[in-house]
Structure 1
Amino acid sequence: RSKTEKLIAQGATGCNSPAEAARGSDFVFSIVGFPADVREVYFGSAGILSAVKPGAILVDMTTSEPTLAVEIAEAAEDKQAMALDAPVSGGDVGAREAKLCIMVGGPQEAFEATLPLFRLMGKTIQHFGGPGAGQHTKMVNQIFITGVMIGLCEGLVYGHRAGLPLEELIQTLSTGAANSWSLQNLAPRCLAGNFKPGFFVEHFIKDMGIALAEAKRMNLSLPGLALVHQMYLALQAQGGGRKGTQALLLAIERLSGLEHFAGLDKR
């Protein structure tokens, strides 16, 4: 409830349960932490599906399980409503600046009706198919990011050990083929000792776990994803679960007995 106080002060109406928020609403948006939270928000005794009205559109923006997205869509259809799975990418910066990338699965009709609202939050909005397609797309996004993050962190450790000026390194490589959102936004935080979360390590571990489970179901071997998942699990075991994903750098440098970036950590 405390998280809603600023919104209530600006004119929003506070509610005490998902059902209360959903009752009478044309659109219901949710974004929580883990699949278990999504299940409770939708299927719990005071969940959205207990109160949704016919014709409503439900939009879950949590990064969650594709199979759960399908389950929600089927339950919504039973209530004569429609559901979209619409996870996002872009981090805290994209959210603040309304420049999120929004990946959507579900009925085309529901997507088109919701598009004006998506445009208030995101810059890139794409419909990828039926229920679960948005979540599958987000899994691809997270798999891409695993490679970027381990490369970024290993490169910074290498650059420091080689005696390179790291600020100039980041500025220069940001203009070439190594450029990425993470290089531009997360590498400077590392140099400043800022390992606070834009995106929590524990949430990234959850996402990688979902991707690995889906890969197993599809008989896919994704060794790079599995390796980075293990590295983040080690970071979590070292107390880094509530840090930002850039804190992988701390685990990487520990493998070589280094503590330069750990010494910068402002916690």
Structure 2
Amino acid sequence: MKNKWSIGFIGTGVMGASIVKHLLKVGHEVHIYSRTKAKAEPLIELGAKWYDAAGKVAQESDIIFTMVGYPQDVEEVYFEENGIFANSKDGTIVVDMTTSQPTLAKKIAKHAKSLQMEALDAPVSGGDVGAQNGTLSIMVGGDKEVFHKVLPLFEVFGQNIVYQGEAGAGQHTKMCNQIAIATNMIGVCEAILYGKKAGLEINTVLESISAGAAGSWSLSNLAPRMINGDKEPGFYIKHFIKDMRIALEEAELMHLELPGLKLAKQMYDELAANGYAENGTQALIDYYTK
């Protein structure tokens, strides 16, 4: 394992930007690509080097992290002419942290191997707070030996880092994560609404139930945002809908019925149709109040 890597990072959004900051802080050289340079200016000021194409980042990097929006974006940055695969050198490691399709993770791993490269799928959980604090949960699929090579880098911005198995296993684990969150968010909203209707001081209610059997990350971190009317995205509704769609598609392939997940997706679909796609997932509370 190298002490210092030449790192590529593609996708410097709400979470990616914080991860890049952590990598810069410990002294790594970080090459970044984002569609809009202006949004990357704060990272450039901290020492990141910006490029106007994913392929240019690939040419400068020993390891490349990707964290983009949708599976089609992953396909683009990896497989297009100006993308990663066409411009990387032998031995480069690619790590896709986008929540994406397990089948796509397997495709990336197979193609990487054909180019004498190595690949991991490593989606994360913890939202903007986890990214800022360097406490993300990271679920990793791919070759176990490669996982151990990259582990010291994961430890820079993650806390709960678990190897899940072969290529695609990280993405399948993230689907489990999103399924658990989907129906939990419904419960969080309904608990808040019930408490208010009962005339309770809802912040005091949270003190009790967050520390008990009902406790969850969403209850501790997103319920206060719901109460304060804060809809800023730690994680976009549009991306959560994408994740739920992938989970439902995978469940269908496994002949598995998930009615709770279907209900949550229907609720979020309705919110998105009413202009909430760019809000954080905690805006689900407005499904009940609008």
TM, length-normalised to structure 1: 0.93
Structure-2 separation of matches of 1:209 and 1:186: 22
* Alignment partner, residue 59 of structure 1: 95
| Aligned 1:47-126 pairs, distance under 5 A | 47-126=83-162
Partner amino acid, structure 1, of 2:78: Y
Deviation string, structure 1 residues 144-169 (Cα, Å, up to 9, x no partner) = 00121000011111111121111111
Q: 2:181 aligns with which of 145, 162, 171?
A: 145
Q: Say whether residues 1:36 and 2:85 are aligned partners.
A: no
1:195 CA drift (Å): 1.2
Q: 1:200 aligns with which of 209, 214, 236?
A: 236
* Alignment partner, residue 263 of structure 1: none
Local SS of the residue matching 1:46: coil
RMSD: 0.9
Is this contact kept in 2: 1:212–1:226, CA < 8 A?
A: yes
Local SS of the residue matching 1:84: strand
Structure-1 separation of matches of 2:42 and 2:198: 48
Aligned residues: 254
Is this contact kept in 2: 1:89–1:102, CA < 8 A?
A: yes
Partner amino acid, structure 1, of 2:84: I
Moved over 4 A (4+): none
Partner amino acid, structure 2, of 1:233: D
Is this contact kept in 2: 1:24–1:53, CA < 8 A?
A: no
Structure-2 separation of matches of 1:24 and 1:193: 43
1:69–1:166 distance in 2 versus 1, CA, 3 Å? same
Identify the range of structure 1 (3-12 vs 67-76) with the bigger mean alpha-carbon deviation: 3-12
Structure 2 unaligned runs (5+)?
1-36
Identical residues among aligned pairs (%):
53
Deviation string, structure 1 residues 67-120 (Cα, Å, up to 9, x no partner) = 010111111011000110000000100000000000000011111110010000
